Amino acid sequence: MNIDDIKKEWNSKGSKYASDVNKMVEFGETNGWDNWKGKEPEDKRDHLAEAVFQLLKEANNNNTVNAFRNDFPPAHSPMVQFMKEKSQNIQQLFFIDDQKIVFMVGTAYQKRQAYLLKGDQVIALESTIGAIGKSKRNNVFAIVTNNTIVTAQGWEGNIIETFELETAKNLGITELIPFNDGEKVLMVTSEGIFIITQNTEKMIHPLPDPEDDEWEPYIDMENATLSNDNKYIVVGDQCSDHRILDQNGAEVGTVGPQSSYPDFCLFSKDNNQLITNSCHFYNGVTIGVAASDLENVQIPAYEESEQYTIIDEEMRVYCGIATSKYYILGDAFGYIRAVDTKGNCMWRYFLGSTISGMTISDDEKTLWVGSSSGMLHKLQLDKGLRDDHTIATGKHYEEFRLVIWKEEPVLRW
């Protein structure tokens, strides 16, 4: 096939597939998914993927990516065949300033690589960096290198504190959240969740079993967050309720799962609500609890209650952020969705694969989303769709996506 034939087939089948999926989603959301009797749309472009991938590489080499992007709008499904061997998790995304973010490639138990994304320029950082975090307020960053955590005022700013890890050294770090003053750090690992201070490394979750002499602190789906004012710490894992702790790690309340396994938690931007997600396979339930009720709250698992608001009943949430208008949550099916504090879904937007990280600019206009497909997407929110291949109800403009695959150069699409 020549390029014109590939382009014609790619575009005709791509736009039809997106249109069919969008119609199906609209029907399901309007009339209920139980009433959908049609077939699931299929993206029938797998046979074109190899040729399109080679053309993408050529466009990057020739600096003609923008023209290529117009000719070949990106797609997820046809590229899955490459992802099985080449994909990597894109995690720990944090906004710095202007059009600049930092992010990590790789999971907690892999050799990770940190990158700076400045506009569309990708810069590899020190290979010894093991994890990066950012405070909820005050723009404090934390970086782990060789079992040393350094907090700084701003990216590459003045150093606030240095912590040498002892008890918690050599652990794969799932998440790192410095407190707003940079004097303490919340460190999440599958071998325990810790508060790190200058003099202590206090494990605050899980709680030891006093009757088990061989108890080990191994957990799955470990997750935690801080309230924006740092008054509360929330921790959870697959086998535990979400536990509400004070800033020193003492338990003050619990939120039981309304699906099976607790795996995500986050406070709203105004700090008035805590949301928790629990999952079952690829689905899940997210509930919201008033932050004013967290002292002594005891929400039982799997029970309807006036103590919480149902935020969402579909998503298994892996990551999310809070904006001034709504939450943006990423799920296991490759969707990001905007949901408000009352549970109204404002929009959804399909990117593909499990969504593994995201960050947003301070003006809330630019969103960066990473996924386990090895893709990092840069979206201009509410700017209007770029093409008719987009599966979405949200009208967002994808400026570009980076393809960060094993044994391949970083490609822009």
pLDDT tens for each residue of 146-188: 999 999 999 999 999 999 999 999 999 999 999 999 999 999 9
In this prediction, what percent of the chain has a pLDDT beyond 90? 98
- Mean pLDDT computed over 32-61: 96
**26 CB-near residues (< 8 Å, 6+ apart):** 393
Residue 9 structure tokens = 């087939």
Residue 300's pLDDT band (boundaries 50, 70, 90)?
very high
Residue 368's pLDDT band (boundaries 50, 70, 90)?
very high
Which residue, among 59, 125, 4, 20, has the nearest Cα to 400 in the 3D structure? 59
Q: Please state, in angstroms and as integers, the Cα–Cα distance from residue 281 to each residue in 103, 259, 260, following that order.
A: 27, 10, 9
Q: Taking the C-alpha atoms of 43, 44, 48 and 49 in order, what is their torsion angle to the nearest 10 degrees?
A: 40
Question: How many Cα atoms occupy the beta-carbon half-sphere of 186 within 13 Å?
Answer: 27
Domain regions of the chain by residue span: 77-412
Q: For 223-282, where are the E strands, in sequence order?
A: 223-226, 232-237, 240-246, 251-255, 261-267, 273-280
- Mean pLDDT computed over 77-86: 97
Please determine, for residue 1, whether its predicted confidence score (pLDDT) is greater than 90: no
Report whether 187 contacts 174 (CB < 8 A): no
Phi, psi at 218, each rounded to 5°: -85, 130
Question: What per-residue confidence (pLDDT) applies to 280?
Answer: 95
Tens digit of each residue's pLDDT (9 = 90 or more) over 302-331: 999 999 999 999 999 999 999 999 999 999
Please determine, for residue 97, whether its predicted confidence score (pLDDT) is greater than 90: yes
CATH assignment of 77-412? Answer: 2.130.10.10
Question: What per-residue confidence (pLDDT) applies to 23?
Answer: 96
